[in-house]
């Protein structure tokens, strides 16, 4: 595995983001862009469209009054941060960028008529568009059995679920068991579940809960991100606290008794059962057509869906092919990066220009391992040919140009501090 020095990684990801950020001089004054979903993808695309061309009217549709960030949310679950710290307002987008924010939920898209129906507190409204950006994040595929997220939360969409898991964690006593599941890849934030296991183990230690443990039931055959750092975290830093079980595909969940059967292990009456189910594209995105994995295939130059040049899907809901056969990772940083490429492509299209082919996207995740130390991971991509196993060109997509991650020995307090700098930069670049 190629590793990078952390400082080098920070400068590389900044450079990659910048490579996508070359606005065209659009003359598309008066054009209407509607954005569905005000998470990292939707907020960023609204922000950049208005920054790059204030003549374009941008309407952002989002059911919630504010966005609660998943990023840093494991620190809220474990009592190190307050909910306020991850609560992101739309006020700056509205006041500073001139984005019209409509509180409502998109019900349906009429791609032929270029309009979308939105449910609001005052009834349904229809919004017409020249371009539509759909960024609804994820929905869950319920596991077999009687899964009730009010009893056995996912806390994989931040907000009330974060509070619920935090409150349940607080009830854990000595010798109690926290059990969590990890779905098969791809899921949002590849290191996120392993980070959660570490943070819960750290919480139990900090609170002096003797004998209390974390059981990680992973549907994947191995740790999906930063294997070196997390293997060390599980076996050394949190030794005796975390039981990691690979190939644990969920067969049945009973939320009432907090019991679970998997292909590798069954647990009855866990004190806390944190079910993170498999993901698919958020429903309004999925209505545009999905691949076998449940995500919306897009052209990585424009994020347009197949056959509809003015409808784009970005963020966790989309599927972007990558050169290593895996999809581009689903992260807030990547959603922000895709938003810039998409905004640029929309402004070029409105201006009668072709999309830029010289594009790059990037992703970063910082993972707290304890309440004082963190790990990090980056992935950077440039657009180009995608090769098959025999070296033949099988299409166009995003090339993984480097993969940097913290060596196990670089899981430290310095990275823990950098995590907040990085997160605040991303929050600003998406919502301010």
Ligand X SMILES: Cc1cc2nc3c(=O)[nH]c(=O)nc-3n(C[C@H](O)[C@H](O)[C@H](O)COP(=O)(O)OP(=O)(O)OC[C@H]3O[C@@H](n4cnc5c(N)ncnc54)[C@H](O)[C@@H]3O)c2cc1C
Residues of this chain, 89-148, that bind ligand X according to CB under 6 A: 105-106, 135-137
Nearer to ligand X, 14 or 393 (CB): 14
Q: Does 331 bind ligand X (CB under 6 A)?
A: yes
Instruction: Please report how close the Cβ of residue 118 comes to ligand X at its closest, in angstroms.
Output: 7
Nearer to ligand X, 255 or 331 (CB): 331
Cβ contacts of 173 within 8 Å, gap of 6 or more? 209, 212, 271
The binding track of 393-422 with respect to ligand X, each residue x by CB under 6 A or -, is: ------------------------------
Nearer to ligand X, 26 or 378 (CB): 378
Q: Does 346 bind ligand X (CB under 6 A)?
A: no
Q: Does 254 bind ligand X (CB under 6 A)?
A: no
Nearer to ligand X, 28 or 116 (CB): 116
Question: Nearest to ligand X by Cβ — which residue?
Answer: 39
Only segment of 15-23, 63-71, 141-149, 265-273 that touches ligand X (CB under 6 A): 63-71
Q: What are the backbone dihedrals phi and psi of residue 284, each rounded to the nearest 5 degrees, phi first? A: -65, -30
The binding track of 147-186 with respect to ligand X, each residue x by CB under 6 A or -, is: ---------x------------------------------
Q: What are the backbone dihedrals phi and psi of residue 11, each rounded to the nearest 5 degrees, phi first? A: -70, -35
Q: Does 218 bind ligand X (CB under 6 A)?
A: no
Instruction: Please report how close the Cβ of residue 171 comes to ligand X at its closest, in angstroms.
Output: 21
The binding track of 283-302 with respect to ligand X, each residue x by CB under 6 A or -, is: -x------------------
Count the site residues for ligand X by CB under 6 A.
37
- Note whether 77 and 166 are within 8 A (CB): yes
Instruction: Please report how close the Cβ of residue 285 comes to ligand X at its closest, in angstroms.
Output: 8
Question: Contact residues for ligand X (CB under 6 A)?
Answer: 36-42, 61-64, 67, 70-71, 73-74, 105-106, 135-137, 156, 188-189, 192, 282, 284, 315-317, 330-333, 335, 365-366
């Amino acid at each position: 595995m190629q590793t990078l020095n952390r400082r080098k990684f920070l400068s590389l990801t900044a450079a990659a983001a910048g490579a996508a950020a070359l606005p065209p001089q659009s003359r598309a004054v008066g054009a209407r862009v509607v954005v569905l979903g005000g998470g990292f993808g939707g907020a960023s695309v609204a922000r950049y469209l208005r920054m790059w061309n204030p003549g374009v009217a941008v309407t952002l549709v989002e059911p919630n009054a504010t966005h609660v960030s998943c990023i840093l949310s494991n620190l809220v679950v474990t009592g190190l941060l307050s909910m306020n710290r991850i609560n992101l307002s739309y006020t700056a987008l509205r006041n500073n960028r001139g984005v019209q924010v409509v509180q409502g939920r998109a019900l349906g898209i009429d791609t032929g008529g270029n309009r979308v129906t939105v449910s609001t507190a005052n009834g349904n409204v229809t919004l017409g568009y020249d371009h539509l950006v759909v960024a609804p994040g994820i929905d869950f595929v319920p596991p077999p059995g009687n899964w009730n997220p009010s009893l056995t939360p996912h806390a994989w969409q931040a907000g009330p679920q974060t509070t619920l898991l935090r409150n349940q964690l607080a009830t854990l006593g000595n010798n109690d068991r926290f059990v969590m599941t990890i779905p098969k890849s791809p899921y949002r934030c590849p290191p996120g579940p392993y980070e959660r296991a570490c943070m819960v183990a750290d919480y139990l230690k900090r609170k002096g809960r003797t004998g209390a443990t974390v059981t990680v039931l992973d549907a994947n055959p191995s740790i999906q991100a930063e294997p070196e750092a997390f293997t060390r975290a599980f076996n050394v830093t949190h030794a005796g606290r975390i039981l990691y079980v690979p190939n644990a595909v969920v067969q049945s969940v009973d939320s009432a008794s907090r019991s679970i059967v998997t292909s590798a292990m069954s647990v009855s009456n866990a004190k806390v059962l944190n079910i993170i189910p498999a993901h698919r594209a958020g429903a309004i995105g999925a209505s545009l057509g999905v691949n076998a994995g449940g995500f919306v295939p897009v052209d990585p130059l424009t994020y347009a869906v197949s056959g509809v040049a003015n409808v784009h899907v970005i963020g966790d809901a989309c599927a972007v092919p990558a050169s290593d056969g895996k999809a581009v990772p689903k992260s807030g940083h990547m959603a922000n990066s895709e938003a810039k490429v998409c905004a640029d492509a929309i402004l070029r299209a409105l201006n009668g220009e072709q999309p830029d082919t010289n594009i790059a996207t990037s992703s970063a995740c910082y993972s707290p391992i304890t309440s004082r130390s963190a790990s990090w991971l980056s992935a950077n991509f440039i657009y180009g040919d995608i090769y098959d196993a025999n070296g033949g060109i099988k299409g166009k997509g995003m090339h993984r140009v480097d993969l940097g991650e913290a060596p196990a020995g670089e899981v430290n307090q310095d990275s823990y501090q950098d995590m907040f700098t990085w997160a605040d930069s991303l929050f600003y670049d998406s919502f301010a």
